[in-house]
Amino acid sequence: MLTIRDEQMRTLAEAQLETSKRRLAALVAQRWPEAAALWGEAGTRRRVDFAVAQTGRRGIDDLASVATYLDVMAVLGPGFEADARFPWAAPILDNPALRPATRLRQLHAEVGAWLAARAGEAE
């Protein structure tokens, strides 16, 4: 029987996380090419690391949800959940009654509504 020690499991998990971060950085470059060019590779990677940390502490660890968080962060900026301009962000992200993917869909919808309201104000 094959036995995998805890240390080996940690190594595998770290390798998987690193692969996921590379995929997320590539996704940012694809979805937000101007921003990624401005940030550079290192800046994009810092934003991915930040997003993974922020979502991870909320129990959000699926790649699609973290990618959605990165999309929101690209629009609102890093640390948007603590920004007084977006008082709805933290309650959505921290809502334990909702599954992680549902929280991110709801956050994405709220950002869309916020952007639409801003566009209406500009007219």
pLDDT digits (tens, 9 = 90+) for 34-61: 999 999 999 999 999 999 999 999 999 8
- Answer for the pair 76, 41: CB distance below 8 angstroms, yes or no: no
Residue 16, pLDDT > 80, answer: no
Residue 13 vs residue 56, higher pLDDT: 56
Where are the chain's structural domains? 7-122
Higher pLDDT, 122 or 58: 58
Radius of gyration of the chain (CA): 17
Mean pLDDT of the chain: 89
Q: Which tens digits make up the pLDDT trace of 65-75?
A: 999 999 999 99
Q: pTM for the whole thing?
A: 0.84
Residues 6+ apart with CB under 8 A from 65: 55, 100, 101, 103, 104
